[in-house]
Amino acid sequence: MNNTFKRIASAVLAGSILITSLSACDGSSGGAKSNPVAVDEDGHVDMEVALKYETDVDALVAELESREVDPTKPVSQHLNKKTLEVFNYLREIYGSKTLIAQQMWDAKGYEDDVYYKANKDLPAIKGFDMIFSNQEDSDNSQVDEAIKWHTQSGGLVAFTWHWNVPRDIDKDFSGTAFYSEDITNFSLENAVTPGTKEYEVIIKDIDMIAIQLQRLEAADVPVLWRPLHEASGKWFWWGGYDRKIPYNEYYKKLWYIIFDRLENYHQLTNLIWVWNGQDKWHTVSPNTYDISGTDIYGPANSHISSVSEYNKLKELTAEGKMIALTECGNLPAVEEMEKDGFMWLYSMLWYGDFTYAPMGSSSSPELDKDGLASVNTERMSEEFISEYMKNEKVVTWNRLPEYDGTEKNIPEAMNQRFKLAEWVAANK
């Protein structure tokens, strides 16, 4: 197959993947507007095409620095109508209200039970993960669930990416990992250096993720996009805390490559960018993020505002940019935030036993007599979560604006559990 025909075939196949995804998932009419990722005849990223585009990081940074920093406008120059509406809504409420958010893990969504039992309501934002989307045998079920959550329920969507890379770049079948301690031979420096094996991995992976982001785009799903999270720590392979200073620069280069590839090369239209570098060594151009975030896991059943962490992050964040608690082990009380004179844009409670009561030492929920998960009272009381969601300054699912192409149905998995519980109660 000659190169010209390959590019044409790649574009057609990529476009057909997006159309198929749109039809299969929800039938909404958002339509993909970005540049399709080049794929080969088997549907894999066409590396011959992919590697022809390289990010000139120095030129990109110079161009970004030449722009005015305007926090009232999104950093992406390609946003579609709905994503711009979501961005403007977040700007409108920032400082006066806070959105409740919940990280999810699987399609069962037992975390939903906790909120619905408390107040017949749900979080405004659900968080999902691209953790398995860059694998050869990709599991994209979280993308499927995100599309359902927005199109069928009208909720907002956030994505992070626990980025799995080869444990040993020189060994086939060495497995993949994202924790630094599990990786023996994968260089962050090489990952941002064209011509290396690691660089080819990251380019392929970014394009695989771009395909999934384009599925979301095709379904008209705006995404709060948070790559390379918690970079201040050394636990992830892209992080740099207490390492040599150049590692921080390699992280920045990787951030700029991701930004450039998704924003300028693929020109995605549905991304609101979230920077989660968390310290001064990992700051990036404010023209590459809309929201600055930090992750906090404090003592169980503590609902302090974490104002000190907020103030630290505010010093690192361009003036006027929105600031969020992008992961947390405990929801900060609204009264505590008001007392300390600020509001997180949103607080994303982690999944599993950070939310629901676990069954013994397992990660599965302890189900009540009705087959429903209950709040983990070691982390928050039933009264706390009920009052939290009743507070008018908390934006819940029920309080979100309605967006075109969306319905307002409670999630199907939870709905089935509650219907079964009602049927059992009625037929005792």
Q: Can you give the three-state secondary structure of the chain, one letter per residue? A: CCHHHHHHHHHHHHHHHHHHHHHHHCCCCCCCCCCCCCECCCCCECHHHHCCCCCCHHHHHHHHHHCCCCCCCCCCCCCCHHHHHHHHHHHHHECCEEEEEEECCCCCCCHHHHHHHHHCCCECEEEEECCCCCCCCCCCHHHHHHHHHHHHHCCEEEEECCCCEECECCCCCCCEECEHHHCCECCHHHHCCCCCHHHHHHHHHHHHHHHHHHHHHHCCCCEEEECCCCCCCCCECCCCCCCCCHHHHHHHHHHHHHHHHHHHHCCCCCEEEEECCCCHHHCCCHHHCCEEEEEECCCCCCCCCCHHHHHHHHHHCCCCCEEEEEEECCCCCHHHHHHCCCCCCEEEECCHHHCECECCCCCCECECCCCCECECCCCCCHHHHHHHHHCCCEEEHHHCCCCCCCCCCCCHHHHHHHHHHHHHHHCC
Summarised one tens digit per residue, pLDDT across range 37-68 is 999 998 899 999 999 999 999 999 999 999 99
Confidence band (pLDDT; 50, 70, 90) for 228?
very high
**Model confidence at 31: pLDDT above 60:** no
Summarised one tens digit per residue, pLDDT across range 315-371 is 999 999 999 999 999 999 999 999 999 999 999 999 999 999 999 888 899 999 999
Identify whether 230 is a catalytic site residue: yes
Catalytic residue among 111, 145, 217, 327: 327
- In the chain, the percentage of residues whose pLDDT exceeds 70 is 91
Summarised one tens digit per residue, pLDDT across range 263-305 is 999 999 999 999 999 999 999 999 999 999 999 999 988 999 9
**Model confidence at 2: pLDDT above 70:** no
**Model confidence at 241: pLDDT above 90:** no
Among 16-20, 280-284, 343-347, 393-397, the minimum mean pLDDT is found in 16-20
**Model confidence at 20: pLDDT above 80:** no
Average pLDDT of the segment spanning 177-202: 96
Superfamily for domain range 55-426:
Glycosidases (3.20.20.80)
User: How far, in Å, are 125, 158, 171, 241 from residue 201 at the CA level?
Assistant: 31, 24, 14, 23
* The two structure tokens encoding residue 357: 């009561």
pLDDT of residue 15: 42
**Model confidence at 30: pLDDT above 80:** no
pLDDT of residue 10: 40
Confidence band (pLDDT; 50, 70, 90) for 173?
confident
**Model confidence at 97: pLDDT above 50:** yes
Catalytic residue among 111, 198, 217, 230: 230
Average pLDDT of the segment spanning 57-84: 97
pLDDT of residue 421: 87
Question: What pTM does this model have?
Answer: 0.91
Identify whether 65 is a catalytic site residue: no
Average pLDDT of the segment spanning 71-84: 97
Q: Return the higher-pLDDT residue of 233 and 193.
A: 193
Q: Return the higher-pLDDT residue of 138 and 91.
A: 91
